Amino acid sequence: MAIIIRLDRILVERKMKLNELAESIGISNVNLSNLKTGKVRAIRFSTLDAICKTLNCQPGDILEYICTDDEEEGCQGI
């Protein structure tokens, strides 16, 4: 299983810089950058909620599930 973070794409679409988003939702640049680059193992729903409110998007616009080759047969690629 692979969850891909598409925050960078949404930021470009909204013409917003990472530091602007960080400031508006009250999270550090470093933590938001780690999220953007996929270096985190978890995200709080409150953080996801704040990102979606600020960027006027859905969680599915930011998070994408990719089926990997090493998974069971039941995995269906999207």
Domain-embedded: residue 50 = yes
22 belongs to a structural domain: yes
Reported as a single tens digit per residue, the pLDDT across 28-77 is 999 999 999 989 999 999 999 999 999 999 999 999 998 877 656 656 65
- For residue 49, tell me if it sits in a domain: yes
Place of tokens 């960080």: 22
Domain that holds residue 14: 2-66
CATH classification at residue 29: 1.10.260.40
4 vs 74 pLDDT, higher one: 4
For the four alpha carbons of 74, 63, 13 and 34, in that order, the dihedral sign comes to negative
pLDDT of residue 2: 87
Query: Which residues on adjacent β-strands are paired with residue 65?
Result: 3
Is residue 75 assigned to a domain?
Answer: no
Q: What is the pLDDT of residue 69?
A: 73
Question: What's the rounded Cα separation, in Å, for the pair 33 and 78?
Answer: 26
- In this predicted structure, the answer to whether residue 6 has a pLDDT above a threshold of 90 is yes
Give domain status of residue 77, yes or no: no
pLDDT at 59: 97
What per-residue confidence (pLDDT) applies to 39?
Answer: 92
